[in-house]
Amino acid sequence: MSNLISKAIEFFNYLGSFIYPWLAEISTAIIACCLVVFGADINRFLRRYLAGRSFLLRTLIFVIVNAFGYGLMIIHLSPVLAQNMAKIPSHWLFLLVVAIFFAIGSWAQRNRQV
């Protein structure tokens, strides 16, 4: 049993070692996927919060949040996520990346976005 566990860790370690050079791209994909999945909820909240306000104000806030807000989140959060993911041992990194994308996909499926 111990040999099987060590072989599994070795295999995940091998797979995880391929992920490290791509952490910047993977973290950008994670942030972008989260924004795609949660963007509708954010926009719905803003629509409710800004109901009754002037058309110009609603449009301005929509543009600021969608064009600049989401872009800035991707630009600023991706490197932070990549730096934190780089600290994780490679066998856990592989499992974490798979789990994150599975969780995002499951969330999207439950909310009928897929």
Is residue 47's pLDDT more than 70? yes
Q: How many CB atoms lie within 10 A of CB 78?
A: 20
Residues 6+ apart with CB under 8 A from 61: 46, 50
The mean pLDDT of the chain is 89
- pLDDT tier at 91, thresholds 50, 70, 90: confident
**Bigger pLDDT: 81 or 90?**
81
Is residue 24's pLDDT more than 90? yes
| The model's pTM | 0.82
Q: What is the pLDDT at residue 39?
A: 85
Q: What residue spans of the chain are helical by DSSP H?
A: 2-17, 23-49, 55-63, 70-86, 90-110
**Bigger pLDDT: 113 or 73?**
73
Classified as helix, coil or strand, 85 is helix
Q: What is the pLDDT at residue 34?
A: 92
